[in-house]
Structure 1
């Protein structure tokens, strides 16, 4: 691990409007807690957002629309009471808060549509962390929002009891997307006085020379590879006014990110997501989405970065 180095860049973004989708699960309640903490730190406002999924309880009720309308209205009343408790907590902490309830068939689509209509800076939401067959069958509202949101998304696991990051991990792949992740990590590091580690993972590749030489590591095959990568990493990240440290590892990116986070008490991962869709997503998945699904800490994903002048 390299010694800490001071790197500088003037931050240009701010977080003033936070959207918090809620479904009143333990994951959702934890997301509200995290959002309230962020709002206090950043002097931001919160909008609580709930989607009533139409015809989700009983297919027979859909055939009796009048009766079903009564069911939905009763549910709306119950939801407003639940939201009121969250609003009262925000009021007590001096946080501006609003709430919105909509009807729809897809919570993810309703969240994305609401994001397109309003001017939000961040989404904070819980994740159930599904894996295996259950994940393949049901997918995840959170993962769809992570993949398609026009603003960063902070995903929260219920096992993490509070949002007070002291060690932030920022995976870097040298894309322009990574640059925006650096800026958001810097913003939060300054607010929470957190340590930041920038990590680049050199992906294992199958190459005849690797096996012919009976090497166990790419760093054995090219002894200067790690040094060059560290120098490139420091130069690339040299844009934020931070005390930062740098790491270069080899392996599967998502596995190395998760292992490093678990072994070094990381409580927030900030990373870029490429926003894969269609066949690319089905075939390749996403390093960021695997990290979101499997990480034991909160993950802030930053995507949909426009081309910028990087000078």
Structure 2
């Protein structure tokens, strides 16, 4: 499935809290290899802890620890530049299946200066992006997997991954939020959602009505899924936004893990 993932590292307390969610998700995604990376940014004040040798030593220790405790092959690389572009270039170089980042919610002032790394990755990525919010706790094996879909062609890859994630009897829910002003074609999406749900006994359909991102976030908050899959862009025209409005809102505000699928 997502056999090789790039894991971004930043060593903050929030990052260490968020990363605790990762082991059960790696098992669900059938991940067998992690490449850890720390990006030294050009505008940060340099301390001894920012030297390549110090950063590499920390990454080596983490890689050894994760290989031992999580049962995955690990390696690591130090990069220099802007985080999002460096991480995505590393993923391209290794032909990785996706990227993992922790949404650590930097302060407004720092975000204004640095930009939000999670959102930059979400807007730029052409590979699946697993986002781990700081607030979430590790999921249990019984926690369901959500597929948020609008039935568009852009959601097809997302639906394929969901089918694989629920292939072993894992509980899943296919979620579609019909806008209040939904066109007649929305009935076709209803049928698609039920078709996906009916393909497996462990998968169920959930059709809601209202504002898509608001309803979806409320359902995630109340149901606490292990993972929510959402396409990077739904019916939003590509020349207007690099990331669909619903996907951007869910990535930014969800307090449970999200897998953004281009």
Bin for the TM-score computed over the shorter chain: 0.7 to 0.9
Alpha-carbon contact 1:267-1:297 (below 8 Å) kept: yes
Q: Which of 205, 215, 231 in structure 2 is aligned with 1:272?
A: 231
For 1:17, the equivalent position in structure 2 comes to 4
Q: Which moved more, 1:168-177 or 1:290-299?
A: 168-177
Separation (CA, whole Å) in 2 of partners of 1:285 and 1:182: 17
For 2:39, the equivalent position in structure 1 comes to 51
Aligned residues: 258
Rate the CA distance shift 1:134–1:100 in 2: closer, same or farther, 3 A.
closer
Q: Which of 77, 85, 97 in structure 2 is aligned with 1:121?
A: 97
Higher-Rg structure is: 1
1:258 has 2:221 as partner? no
Q: Deviations over 1:15-66 (max 9, x none)?
A: 2111101111234334544444444552511100110012321xxxxxxxxx
Alpha-carbon contact 1:125-1:154 (below 8 Å) kept: yes
For 1:195, the equivalent position in structure 2 comes to 171
Q: Deviations over 1:221-252 (max 9, x none)?
A: x9x999775334223x3696562111221211
1:299 has 2:255 as partner? no
Structure 2, unpaired ranges of 5+: none
Q: Which of 78, 95, 101 in structure 1 is aligned with 2:78?
A: 101
Report the aligned-residue RMSD.
Answer: 3.4
Alpha-carbon contact 1:129-1:294 (below 8 Å) kept: no
Separation (CA, whole Å) in 2 of partners of 1:131 and 1:254: 23
1:184 has 2:161 as partner? yes
Separation (CA, whole Å) in 2 of partners of 1:56 and 1:298: 29
Structure 1, unpaired ranges of 5+: 1-13, 58-67, 206-217, 304-311
Alpha-carbon contact 1:46-1:95 (below 8 Å) kept: yes
Rate the CA distance shift 1:233–1:188 in 2: closer, same or farther, 3 A.
closer
1:231 has 2:218 as partner? no
Rate the CA distance shift 1:90–1:135 in 2: closer, same or farther, 3 A.
closer
Separation (CA, whole Å) in 1 of partners of 2:238 and 2:110: 20
Aligned-pair CA distance for 1:139: 3.6
Separation (CA, whole Å) in 1 of partners of 2:201 and 2:38: 37
SS across alignment from 2:72: coil
Separation (CA, whole Å) in 2 of partners of 1:39 and 1:197: 20
The answer to which structure, 1 or 2, has the higher relative contact order (CA under 8 A, 6+ apart) is 1
Separation (CA, whole Å) in 2 of partners of 1:286 and 1:128: 21
Alpha-carbon contact 1:183-1:240 (below 8 Å) kept: no
SS across alignment from 1:111: helix
Q: Deviations over 1:132-155 (max 9, x none)?
A: 887667541111212221211110
Aligned-pair CA distance for 1:299: 0.3
Separation (CA, whole Å) in 1 of partners of 2:114 and 2:57: 29
For 1:155, the equivalent position in structure 2 comes to 131
Aligned-pair CA distance for 1:277: 9.8
Normalised TM-score (structure 1): 0.71
